[in-house]
Amino acid sequence: MGWLVLLGTAMALTGIGLLGYCIYSAFAIKRAGLDDVAMRAQLQKIVAINMGALLLAVLGLMCVVLGVFLG
């Protein structure tokens, strides 16, 4: 079940990378000095990516744990 651990690790690292992207994008949007409506619209897009990244990281960690238990 080593392949499951490797797959889970790749998924978890991708999710964590996307979380870093979300943090960077949120700070960039705040520094841009947009008005309230435009900033809110941009941050709503980032929230959708953030939730997907969290899901990907959690599923990756679940695959790692399952691979360790089965292996």
Q: Which residues, 6+ apart, have CB-to-CB distance to 52 below 8 Å?
A: 18
| 1 vs 69: which has the higher pLDDT | 69
CB environment 16-31: b (16+ within 10 A), e (fewer): eebbeebeebbeebee
The pLDDT score that the predictor gives to residue 71 is: 83
Q: What is the mean pLDDT of residues 48-61?
A: 97
pLDDT of residue 57: 97
Average pLDDT, the chain: 95
Higher pLDDT, 71 or 62: 62
DSSP state of 1: -
Residue range 18-47, pLDDT digits in tens: 999 999 999 999 999 899 999 999 999 999
Delimit the domains of the chain by residue range: 2-70
d(CA 42, CA 33): 12
